[in-house]
Structure 1
């Protein structure tokens, strides 16, 4: 074991994950609605600003960081060797990268060159993903392996026939890794760092600073305009990793029993962490303006500070005051986050495939905003039903 963590399921983390997914579904859907307020949209890449929408992705990263110590220590407690643990981490990373790769390329598919409509290709991709990463409950393991092999074969086939671009010559390739892929890279680096520093909170804090320093170094002219400009290609991943590490550090503050942070000690440590994040963000803002699109340090630090506040409130309500009944609504999504993440896309492509479309009124102004909120809630109910059917994805 690396850390002596609180035993059992942490409802406040599950609730934070579920709420984040609900908001994610809402903001993704409302992005297609015209005539909505600026604060409901992503800030433009050239603006020195951010909206609550720009905090959703880093909130995912933050939650990944909060979960990493529990995941790694759980596998060690089950008897995983060092190399078996590393293989598990690499396998999860590869899964996220593959999913991100397919999702990014879907919108650029050339139906004529590929030989099938985009909606059908996308639905087959999601079917393959579910077959590969579903958690099966068959008593005979070989049945599970057959389903997984079928899904893997389907993904390989879809990758081979894929053609994109206007001229239909583009193959399946990482134009960028997509949200899931970016989470995958940050997860990989954070897991490596967590093991290197042996779960020490001071080591994690130091590595947050190292990630920020790496970003700053890669954007210096003597690096950017030299033969070492390739270093800058990882600057975005460094910032995303820093957000994951922020979540990891907060998780250690709350749940590492060896730190023994309780009562006023916990409040002062968490408050101090929040202040450091805000002050660092303010100090870095003149040099690196706030921008989600460019993954700047100020954006990451302000986002992490927001997550510290949100989780602390949830922890107080759920784990301290035991006001947790309301979290039951979010639990299905919190326990099955990957399926919940891809489900809106599945519904979207299914509607296209069936030739169905929503009334125009739901694509504008207040009706569109209300529909987006209703749609997000409906997705959580749908996930709850799929959970009962034992459709649960796990990388």
Structure 2
């Protein structure tokens, strides 16, 4: 059966929601007074914030389901060129974002940021890698085989984490296969230091299970296009989500849900929740026709990578420029939002920051400017 060419508003809204909430959780006014649901789990466990990034990868798979037929009509060399070009550009943007603004303050003077201490892997880099791998898998195989290969990757990742690391401590922050491979490949100075020790939650090895988030998103998008907007399709999508929830929590008993290691049980859990959310969105938007609220999220969904990159660069610049002995980021929070209360002020700062990014997206949308990579 040929896929319908009609776009699903629900898929665009889903993508926009992930960008919206990604900005909110990434830019609290004060991390020490952030509501707990807006924080990542410290290690094992799961919070709503942990759902944001895998949902973006799921949305990448959704979007891929609309272009794959066009890829299949092109010469193979052209397809490889398009995919690899996108992988390279997104990866490079992510790397440059962590290097930016290329200087930092040190004892009142500007000093260059050394390449030797620049983070190599990260959010955009993971998006680039998993998009490229998933796109090629789906292009050369059908989506079912690509999904089977992705599931095999989840099982392989489980084995690798069990085999490597100190005996009995394979899943600790200080001893795991992800950290060992990154240390061997690029060294600790190129890793994320947010935990106080060199460890990258977007490390190279943990990219392997993340591929399944994209292929699952592709399968969901393909399924909805093929089956159409009807209650039977939604029932199947909901049933899939509920089944995967059961599998995830069962797997959690042996292989804990952990976003920072991107464990296989974490992948299954996030795909399950994404299937359920997507089914709910299709029901409300495409079946019930309740669309008076959707435009806000569609703005984010129409320029997702650009708006995300804008949010990160803007936050970096607010931290970089200083007034007195504090950054503009802290000065704005302390002057405007802190008096409203620690937790409330931090949350309202994040909401305001997100709305500023939305306004840029709104102006782009009104001018029909859509920045694609």
Offset of residue 89 of structure 1: 0.6
Paired position in structure 1 for 2:215: 245
Could you tell me whether the CA contact under 8 Å between 1:280 and 1:301 is conserved in 2?
yes
Could you tell me whether the CA contact under 8 Å between 1:66 and 1:250 is conserved in 2?
yes
Paired position in structure 2 for 1:219: 161
1:284 aligns with 2:251: yes
Paired position in structure 2 for 1:154: none
Could you tell me whether the CA contact under 8 Å between 1:58 and 1:303 is conserved in 2?
yes
Paired position in structure 2 for 1:29: 27
Distance in 2 (alpha carbons) for counterparts of 1:39 and 1:187? 28
Distance in 1 (alpha carbons) for counterparts of 2:231 and 2:347? 41
* Cα distance change of structure 1 residues 321 and 106 upon mapping to structure 2, 3 Å threshold: same
Unaligned runs of 5+ residues in structure 1 are 119-161, 165-169
Unaligned runs of 5+ residues in structure 2 are 168-179, 185-202
1:347 aligns with 2:314: yes
1:358 aligns with 2:310: no
1:20 aligns with 2:14: no
Residue deviations 1:226-266 (CA, integer Å, cap 9, x gap): xxx8699754112110111111111122112xxx4774542
1:71 aligns with 2:67: yes
DSSP-derived class of the 2:33 partner? coil
Could you tell me whether the CA contact under 8 Å between 1:100 and 1:180 is conserved in 2?
yes
Offset of residue 324 of structure 1: 1.7
DSSP-derived class of the 2:294 partner? helix
Paired position in structure 1 for 2:371: 393
Could you tell me whether the CA contact under 8 Å between 1:33 and 1:369 is conserved in 2?
no
* Cα distance change of structure 1 residues 391 and 55 upon mapping to structure 2, 3 Å threshold: same
Structure 1 stretch displaced more, 333-342 or 100-109: 100-109
Paired position in structure 2 for 1:254: 224
TM-score by length of 1: 0.75
TM-score by length of 2: 0.79
* Cα distance change of structure 1 residues 263 and 106 upon mapping to structure 2, 3 Å threshold: same
1:61 aligns with 2:57: yes
Could you tell me whether the CA contact under 8 Å between 1:218 and 1:224 is conserved in 2?
no
Could you tell me whether the CA contact under 8 Å between 2:245 and 2:272 is conserved in 1?
yes
Match of 2:290 among 313, 318, 323: 323
- The equivalences for 1:363-374 within 5 A come to 364-374=342-352
Residue deviations 1:110-146 (CA, integer Å, cap 9, x gap): 567xxx958xxxxxxxxxxxxxxxxxxxxxxxxxxxx
Residue deviations 1:260-297 (CA, integer Å, cap 9, x gap): 47745424431332133212212221222111111111
Match of 1:86 among 80, 104, 111: 80
**How many residue pairs end up in the alignment?**
331
* Cα distance change of structure 1 residues 31 and 108 upon mapping to structure 2, 3 Å threshold: farther
Distance in 2 (alpha carbons) for counterparts of 1:65 and 1:31? 32
CA RMSD of aligned residues (A): 3.1
Offset of residue 311 of structure 1: 0.9
Paired position in structure 2 for 1:380: 358
